[in-house]
């Protein structure tokens, strides 16, 4: 019977001895060689599983160690000795793992599994987790987050004090209060700032910011109402918080998988942008729907939102952006779907 060359260490010193290793029919391991004083027999020895072609160190019950570098010979010897006995389940599992990770076909299968799981998690898992997070986050914590963001923008003088006439402001505030009451949204407040460009956005915690420039840009008050309704839709869905939760859930998963926060952060940097954009488009659609519903109830044409968005887009020249790259569905799409919605609803009943 062939033996496998090994290096024998007695477990007491770093001195090594050349030896040969083989198994008896009963599965006992025998170490023997000219440099050893006697033939050594061990029962119940566990052969470590194979990792690529790295040396295998067999740790023997008395603390001695047998190092085998010829992995193929060791595997062959074990297969031959097993004869008809079934292979222990543990060994079979590790042989399968070795087959997977020593061939490109196995690696491709693993890659397919990883891609599928990551995609499904992004698509369904993360939003579900985010809903849970959003539901359990106290309103005060969210408001604090929004307040910090707002303070930062003001400190950096990105946002400056509004120069709107008090009357104009009060009219819009009153309209916003009415909208809140009608739509049943509790935590929301409207603030005006000057930014240098027409814009409106919702912060976590329910603060909606509208810029002076947007108020001036609007050709009709109903357009401002439409934008406010859209932003209130973001507040109602707690979209900013939800988006943050979805993205950090993905980071957490990848950190758990790679076992290193900095490596995981680097890995999700690229996909994060794409994913954030795609989540964000979902949110825009939800806010558009919320706005259209409200506007119909309030007797305002939902096309007002599409109108002002389209003009804004023309003005700033972002219309040529492909939809999948932009966080907002193209204004033309939104105007169209708003009109379809208005068409559906406006049909006179019997």
Nearer to other proteins, 154 or 345 (CB): 154
Binding part of the chain for other proteins, among 23-31, 108-116, 168-176, 292-300 by CB under 8 A, reads 108-116
Which ranges of 56-206 would DSSP assign to H, the alpha helix?
A: 71-82, 89-101, 104-120, 126-136, 139-155, 166-183
Alpha-carbon gap, residue 187 to 180, rounded angstroms: 9
* 59 touching other proteins, by CB under 8 A: yes
* Other Cβ atoms closer than 10 A to 53: 11
Select from 270, 322, 348, 350 the one that contacts other proteins (CB under 8 A). Answer: 270
CA-closest candidate to residue 249, choices 113, 125, 144: 125
Binding part of the chain for other proteins, among 36-44, 79-87, 112-120, 161-169 by CB under 8 A, reads 112-120
Nearer to other proteins, 128 or 269 (CB): 269
CA-closest candidate to residue 199, choices 188, 210, 187, 186: 210
How many chain residues bind other proteins (CB under 8 A)? Answer: 94
* 125 touching other proteins, by CB under 8 A: no
Q: The tokens of 291 are what?
A: 């706005």
Task: Kindly tell me the sign of the dihedral angle through the C-alpha atoms of 121, 288, 183, 173.
Answer: positive
* 16 touching other proteins, by CB under 8 A: yes
Residues 300-329 that bind other proteins (CB under 8 A): 309, 312, 315-318, 327-328
Shortest Cβ distance from residue 346 to other proteins (Å)? 25
Q: Provide the mask over 17-56, with x wherever binding to other proteins is found by CB under 8 A and - wherever it is not.
A: xx----------------x---------------xx-xx-
- Asked whether 276 and 223 are in contact (CB, 8 A), the reply is no
* 104 touching other proteins, by CB under 8 A: yes
Nearer to other proteins, 18 or 346 (CB): 18
- Distance (Å) of CA 280 to CA 58, 240, 273, 337: 55, 9, 10, 18
In this structure, are strands 65-68 and 160-161 parallel, antiparallel, or unpaired? unpaired
Residues 189-248 that bind other proteins (CB under 8 A): 195-203, 209, 213-214, 217, 227, 230-231, 234, 239-240, 243
Shortest Cβ distance from residue 25 to other proteins (Å)? 26
């Amino acid at each position: 019977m062939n033996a496998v060359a090994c290096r024998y260490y007695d477990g007491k010193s770093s001195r090594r001895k050349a030896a040969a290793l083989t198994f008896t029919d009963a599965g006992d391991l025998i170490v023997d060689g000219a440099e050893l004083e006697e033939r050594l027999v061990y029962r119940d020895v566990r052969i470590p599983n194979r990792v690529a072609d790295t040396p295998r160190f067999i740790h023997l019950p008395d603390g001695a160690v047998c190092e085998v570098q010829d992995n193929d010979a060791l595997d062959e010897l074990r297969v031959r000795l097993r004869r008809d006995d079934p292979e222990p389940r543990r060994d079979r599992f590790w042989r399968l793992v070795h087959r997977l990770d020593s061939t490109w076909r196995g690696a491709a299968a693993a890659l397919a599994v990883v891609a599928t799981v990551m995609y499904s998690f992004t698509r369904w898992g993360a939003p579900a987790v985010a809903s849970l997070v959003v539901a359990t986050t106290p309103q005060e914590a969210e408001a604090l987050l929004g307040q910090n963001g707002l303070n930062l923008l003001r400190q950096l003088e990105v946002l400056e004090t509004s120069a709107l006439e008090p009357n104009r402001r009060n009219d819009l505030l009153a309209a916003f209060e009415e909208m809140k009451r009608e739509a049943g949204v509790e935590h929301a407040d409207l603030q005006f700032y000057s930014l240098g460009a027409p814009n409106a956005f919702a912060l976590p915690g329910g603060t909606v910011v509208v810029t002076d420039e947007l108020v001036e840009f609007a050709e009709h008050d109903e357009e401002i109402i439409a934008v406010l309704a859209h932003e209130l839709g973001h507040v109602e869905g707690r979209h900013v918080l939800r988006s943050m939760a979805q993205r950090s859930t993905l980071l957490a998963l990848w950190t758990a998988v790679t076992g290193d926060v900095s490596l995981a952060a680097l890995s999700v940097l690229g996909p994060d942008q794409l994913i954030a954009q795609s989540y964000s488009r979902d949110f825009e659609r939800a806010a558009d729907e919320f706005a259209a519903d409200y506007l119909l109830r309030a007797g305002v044409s939902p096309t007002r939102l599409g109108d002002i968005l389209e003009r804004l887009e023309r003005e700033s020249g972002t219309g040529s952006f492909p939809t999948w790259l932009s966080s907002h569905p193209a204004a033309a799409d939104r105007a169209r779907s708003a009109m379809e919605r208005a068409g559906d609803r406006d049909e006179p009943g019997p």
